[in-house]
Structure 1
Amino acid sequence: MSKISVVSAVVAVSALMSSIDCAQAASKCVKGEHKPPFSLGWANIYSVPTWMKQTTDTITQEVDQLKSQGLVSKLMITDAQGNANTQIQQIQSMIDAKVDAILIDAGSATALNRVIADACGKGIAVLNFDSLVDTDELTAKIDTDQLEWGQAAADWMVKQIGGKGKIIVMNGPAGISVSDDRRKGAESVLKAHPDVTVLAETNTEYNVAPAQEAMTNLLFANSDIDGVLALGGSLSAGAVLAMDKQGRALVPMTGENYRQFLELWKDKGLKGWATMQPNWLGALAAYTAVQALQGKDVPAFVKVPLPVIDDASLASYIDRAKDFPSDGYIYSRYDQAMFAKLLAQK
């Protein structure tokens, strides 16, 4: 074989290997022809809670920016009103409409698996954030580490009460991955500290009124408590209001970046700790979907670091409170440059 033939063969093989590498690097589920501007679907489990309204706002704002960049044409939004079966039907309608990508905050860890696999099989990018499903037949999951969330909250509580005492645990809805995983994370710490007694615990919606009612009932049944391990911001706000109404002395309490809780924390001199499930996880999901549709390889799991809100950082959140709903969450700032850095994590 001549030198020219050898060189030509090498070039051909290199080109073939390069095309194989590119094909292997493509994001999962994305196949077939996807050309900008893309159509996106946002399958919301429910729109009533303020957290979800704020999340939808971040998605629509991100989509508006992507539209201005010529990358997105439309956003289809559905509301399952808390019903996982309805959410399945709405996702199916998005598949039938041949959207390019679907964003999902799941109403069940398992019920959506089949329809998600169907979307993936049809070449649709599927991005799951916040409340996660237990299937990997999708493009990417985007979340903070909920186990770490629970562990950090429980660690802080144990230190505040000196490694022993009686606490009440407040959880979000049972069966929702965010709530269940936070509780699992907390349990790993509580088991290591047998002198910390869980007097009682409850599961409620992430809303102040039901949390306050639940805490009121628990206070009547438990006169002596040393701390409240609330694994959600509106839960801790409800706990503070319940204790205040009964004239009970406030105890160390964990929570989240819920505006009312942060304001009560400051006003009442509470011993508090909080972290955040950023509402812009939805915006990040929209950005990630477009990256995947453009042929870029995105991580199967995008981990968003958990910030810590303590006495030192509380004021920086309170200073921005006026920019958020009175019953909303004060979340951190975000932009596409930050999203690109999160997707580049190894």
Structure 2
Amino acid sequence: MTVPSPISRRLALSAAVTCLGLCATLLGAGGAEAAANCIKGDRKAPYTVGWANIYSVPTWMKQTEGTITAEVEALKKDGRVKDLMVTDAQGNAQTQIQQIQSMIDANVDAIVVIAGSSTALDRVISDACDKGIAVVNFDSLVDTDKVTAKINTDSNEWGSKAAQWMVDQLGGKGKIIIMNGPAGVSVSDDRRKGAQPVLDANKGLEVITETNTEYNVAPAQEAMTSLLFANPEIDGVLSLGGALSAGALLAFDRQGREPVPTTGENARQFLELWKEKGINGWATMQPNWLGALAVYTAVQALDGKPVPAFVKVPLPVIDDSTIDTYLARASEFPADGYIYSAYDKALFDKLLAQ
């Protein structure tokens, strides 16, 4: 019998260790998928889901909550969800922190959240993740990556496309007003950041002023009314969301001024005014069903299925060639609501397969 030398034994041992590591890796790849971020502990269906809303007054938020509750009801029928806990921070980030902490204390299985601040919620969101709670953040995002998933459209792309449309409409020259959502809300700030490179590249487009308002018609109309008094010459309104565009058009109309090219999103009132006044318009949307997708994503993660850390939802374009298809469904939505696109499980599965 030949006795292996010490060198041979060391080589054989090293090969065995390497093989064990590689085999484990291959088994892991071919067997159970790695758990999504934050998912740990013994959590079993049916799950309790928390919906940490920053504020519920705007119609966009009410419609979004409607998609969340509808998704929860569907998942209840499938035996995947037991309860939905809903909170409303009424626009106060500190209140939202306390409400998320109450969800953590109640040991909910998942928290879906629109952040009232991109930074203030980081600590409590991270704490939820550390405790094995699925955290899905959509629309207005937190800075921390200690979440199961973030879901959003590309807000920078939104601003860039809106600004480029305005450049094309005005031939690169003219005076414009920019209408933003609330300062400090990530989607609003990111849209504005996305527009800036286009504005920088087209110096003939002069931004005479800009404003920040809530995503509601009344404050937007009031803000635009003041700006119209102060600025007799306006060639375009670069509105970056919500009912801001409808408020702008109403202000023009009530002052007897001709409307100008205006950007916006899928607010029903804006689309109807666009058609009624025959303006040059462009819009996209932040689909309300992002809320339903957030719930679906959280449950998928809790079920042990892989979900991407970031789910990018493509931006649709609403222009003269597509506006009629949206208005054809207007009666299905509130008069002050948003005409959002259809969604189903197949769409959600496609988005999660990115």
2:333 to 324, 331, 339: 324
1:118 aligned onto 2:100: no
1:199 to 205, 208, 212: 208
Maintained 8 Å contact 2:153/2:312:
yes
Counting only pairs closer than 5 Å after superposition, residues 21-36 of structure 1 correspond to structure 2 as 25-36=34-45
Q: Which amino acid aligns with 1:297?
A: P
Q: Which residue of 2 aligns with 1:271?
A: 280
Q: Which amino acid aligns with 1:341?
A: K
Deviations 1:98-153 (A, max 9, x none): 11110000000000000000000001110000000111011110000000000000
1:152 to 161, 175, 179: 161
Q: Which amino acid aligns with 1:150?
A: G
Pairwise CA distance, 1:15: 5.8
Q: Which residue of 2 aligns with 1:216?
A: 225
Q: Which residue of 2 aligns with 1:166?
A: 175
* Distance in 2 of aligned mates of 1:143 and 1:117: 19
* Distance in 1 of aligned mates of 2:249 and 2:230: 17
* Distance in 2 of aligned mates of 1:24 and 1:69: 23
1:237 aligned onto 2:254: no
1:307 aligned onto 2:316: yes
Q: Relative to structure 1, is the Cα distance of residues 39 and 155 closer, same or farther in structure 2, using a 3 angstrom cutoff?
A: same
Q: Which residue of 2 aligns with 1:48?
A: 57
TM-score, with structure 2 as normaliser: 0.93
Q: Which amino acid aligns with 1:301?
A: F
Gaps of 5+ in 1: 1-9
Percent of residue pairs bearing the same amino acid type: 71
Deviations 1:82-106 (A, max 9, x none): 0000000000000011111100000
Q: Which residue of 2 aligns with 1:58?
A: 67
Pairwise CA distance, 1:14: 3.9
Q: Relative to structure 1, is the Cα distance of residues 127 and 12 closer, same or farther in structure 2, using a 3 angstrom cutoff?
A: closer
TM-score, with structure 1 as normaliser: 0.95
* Distance in 2 of aligned mates of 1:76 and 1:99: 8
Bigger radius of gyration:
2
RMSD: 1.9
Q: Which residue of 1 aligns with 2:193?
A: 184
* Distance in 1 of aligned mates of 2:100 and 2:106: 10
Maintained 8 Å contact 2:125/2:147:
yes
Q: Which residue of 1 aligns with 2:91?
A: 82
Pairwise CA distance, 1:25: 2.1
Maintained 8 Å contact 2:33/2:304:
no
Gaps of 5+ in 2: 1-18
* Distance in 2 of aligned mates of 1:24 and 1:333: 31
Maintained 8 Å contact 2:33/2:305:
no
Deviations 1:221-252 (A, max 9, x none): 11011100000130000000000011111110
Q: Which amino acid aligns with 1:160?
A: Q
1:135 aligned onto 2:144: yes
